[in-house]
């Protein structure tokens, strides 16, 4: 890259960080209705930033929830069109007392910018706006056609974006969807995610008697909802960590030698992970490494189990009902609805006599994957190499960003997931932060990528 951009971003760094601080000060928490106005304010801020950057046709589209911000700059005939996707909404901040500085008062400490949304995803969206602005200011034109689609509901699973996508398929048409909402493997080691696990979730309630009962008077003579639930949940896995639900692994692709080689290139340190987490051992399906289990294998996890007396001291009660929250991460061609139905069937077949079962099926999202040989992805790996000195590895991530699969499917375009966060930046937790080294390098990498197309 010419020195122009290094100098440009160096000279504008203070102003850019001040602007980003304004955006990070807006408490745009999409999950909490009392912040609806703040989410709208963040949409206005993004729209204005896009206008100032030189983008055209900037629009704030209302939805049944929070608005979508759209912008375009289409003056490169015959050149590819890139759609930048991101989100301006953020996670709730509790527990507030664990934040070292207030979540919506950005502060820089030891080269890190602390604020809710710093890495997920305001900081990363902001970089795309500033990269486009830099090219337009320096060169008066863009090397490709660019569109932006920035939403305000990603943290609540994007309920209104699929219908927006379908209704605006032509408007959003692109040759690639560019997303920065993921992370490097570790400092200086860039990664491009080419697969995300899908998701399905359910809540389970087990009921027995019509009231809580005294465990002296009734104990040993009536069914206990907690016993029934614990026995039911323990039937979901075998002793080797495999999910024991009939047909659960249908649609799961076995790992090829090439895929295992790609995982091995990450040189993931399982010993360090155990030490960091205070664990004696890792756990999961036998014959798979940690990165294989979390990137390419499906799971069934208990996220919450509760029922009966939970106060201080003892209360000799047989509870009338007990509850569990379950989520699955899905891979390959696993169908979320099919998985939910299979799990519900398993639960009904393994329920203790005398207990009644209620299952509420909740979220559903398919797994996403794309072909790393696509030139749009190869050029992204090259762009990282130019700036970081290390070519990006292609990875499969364990998390789910349901809308990525939708974007790629509806627009028939590869998703290029160029993340600039780091895995330990506390996204979704107190003291979320963004390493400014990756803010600086990320701006250059995005410029390099767009110019390479």
The token pair that represents 32 in the structure block: 């909490």
Spatial distance between the Cα atoms of 377 and 191, rounded to a whole number of angstroms: 11
Average pLDDT, the chain: 95
3-class DSSP assignment, residue 434: strand
Position 402 confidence tier, pLDDT thresholds 50, 70, 90: confident
pLDDT score of 398: 85
Q: What is the pLDDT of residues 76-99, one digit of tens each?
A: 999 999 999 999 999 999 999 999
pLDDT score of 262: 85
Q: What is the pLDDT of residues 148-171, one digit of tens each?
A: 999 999 999 899 999 999 999 999
Degrees to nearest 5, angle at CA 265 with 261 and 268: 115
pLDDT score of 216: 93
Task: Kindly report the pTM of this predicted structure.
Answer: 0.85
pLDDT score of 396: 87
Strand 176-179 versus strand 415-418 pairing type: parallel
Spatial distance between the Cα atoms of 432 and 108, rounded to a whole number of angstroms: 12
- The lowest-confidence range among 1-10, 198-207, 296-305, 387-396 is 1-10
Assigned architecture for domain 198-252+298-365? 2-Layer Sandwich (3.30)
Domain at 5-196+367-452, CATH class: alpha beta
| φ, ψ for residue 270, nearest 5 deg | -70, -35
Q: What is the mean pLDDT of residues 48-73?
A: 98
Which residues contact residue 80 at a Cβ distance below 8 angstroms, ignoring those fewer than 6 apart?
144, 145, 175, 176, 376, 453
Q: Centre a 10 Å sphere on the Cβ of residue 446 and count the other Cβ atoms it contains.
A: 26
pLDDT score of 401: 79
Q: How far is CA 347 from CA 196, 234, 262, 286, 324, in A?
A: 27, 11, 37, 24, 12
Ranges for all domains in the chain classified under CATH 3.30.70.360: 198-252+298-365
Contact (CB, 8 A) for 176 and 83: yes
Q: Centre a 10 Å sphere on the Cβ of residue 261 and count the other Cβ atoms it contains.
A: 10
Ranges for all domains in the chain classified under CATH 3.40.630.10: 5-196+367-452
Spatial distance between the Cα atoms of 223 and 320, rounded to a whole number of angstroms: 9
Q: What is the pLDDT of residues 235-283, one digit of tens each?
A: 999 999 999 999 999 999 999 998 899 899 989 999 999 999 999 999 9
Q: What is the pLDDT of residues 324-333, one digit of tens each?
A: 999 999 999 9
Position 403 confidence tier, pLDDT thresholds 50, 70, 90: confident
DSSP labels, 337-400: HHHHHHHHHHHHHTPPTT-EEEEEEEEEE--EE--TTSHHHHHHHHHHHHHHSSPPEEEEESS-
Position 3 confidence tier, pLDDT thresholds 50, 70, 90: low
Q: Is the pLDDT of residue 2 over 80?
A: no
Spatial distance between the Cα atoms of 70 and 58, rounded to a whole number of angstroms: 6
């Amino acid at each position: 890259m010419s020195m122009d951009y290094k100098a440009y971003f160096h000279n504008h760094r203070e102003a850019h960080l001040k602007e980003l601080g304004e955006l990070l000060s807006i408490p745009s928490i999409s999950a909490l209705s009392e912040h609806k106005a703040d989410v709208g304010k963040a949409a206005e801020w993004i729209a204005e930033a896009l206008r100032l950057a030189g983008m055209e046709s900037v629009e704030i589209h209302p939805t049944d929830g929070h608005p979508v911000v759209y912008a375009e700059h289409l003056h490169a005939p015959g050149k590819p069109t890139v759609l930048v996707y991101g989100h301006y909404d953020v996670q709730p901040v509790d527990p507030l007392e664990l934040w070292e500085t207030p979540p919506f008062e950005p502060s820089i400490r030891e080269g890190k910018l602390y604020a809710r949304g710093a890495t997920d995803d305001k900081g990363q969206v902001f970089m795309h706006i500033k990269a486009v602005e830099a090219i337009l200011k320096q060169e008066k034109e863009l090397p490709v056609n660019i569109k932006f689609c920035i939403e305000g509901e990603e943290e609540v699973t994007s309920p209104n974006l699929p219908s927006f996508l379908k209704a605006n398929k032509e408007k959003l048409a692109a040759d690639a969807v560019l997303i920065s909402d993921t992370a490097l493997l570790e400092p200086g080691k860039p990664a491009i995610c080419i697969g995300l696990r899908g998701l399905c979730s359910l809540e389970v309630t087990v009921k027995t008697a019509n009231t809580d009962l005294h465990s002296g008077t009734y104990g040993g003579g009536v069914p206990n909802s907690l016993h029934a639930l614990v026995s039911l949940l323990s039937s979901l896995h075998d002793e080797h960590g495999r999910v024991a639900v009939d047909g659960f692994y249908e649609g799961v692709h076995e790992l090829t030698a090439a895929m295992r080689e790609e995982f091995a290139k990450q040189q993931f340190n399982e010993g360090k992970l155990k030490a960091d987490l205070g664990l004696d051992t890792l756990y999961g399906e036998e014959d798979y490494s940690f990165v294989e289990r979390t990137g390419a294998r499906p799971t069934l996890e208990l996220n919450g189990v509760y029922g009966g007396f939970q106060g201080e001291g003892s209360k000799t009660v047989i509870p009338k009902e007990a509850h569990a929250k379950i989520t699955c991460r899905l891979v390959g061609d696993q169908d979320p609805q099919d998985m939910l139905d299979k799990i519900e069937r398993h639960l009904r077949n393994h329920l203790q006599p005398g207990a009644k079962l209620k299952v509420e099926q909740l979220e559903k999202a398919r797994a996403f994957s794309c072909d790393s040989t696509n030139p749009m992805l190869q050029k992204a790996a090259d762009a990282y190499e130019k700036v970081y000195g290390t070519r990006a590895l292609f990875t499969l991530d364990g998390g789910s960003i349901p809308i990525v699969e939708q974007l790629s499917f509806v627009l028939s375009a590869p998703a290029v997931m160029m993340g600039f966060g780091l895995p330990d930046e506390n996204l979704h937790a107190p003291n979320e932060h963004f390493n400014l080294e990756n803010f600086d390098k990320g701006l250059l990498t995005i410029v390099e990528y767009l110019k390479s197309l």
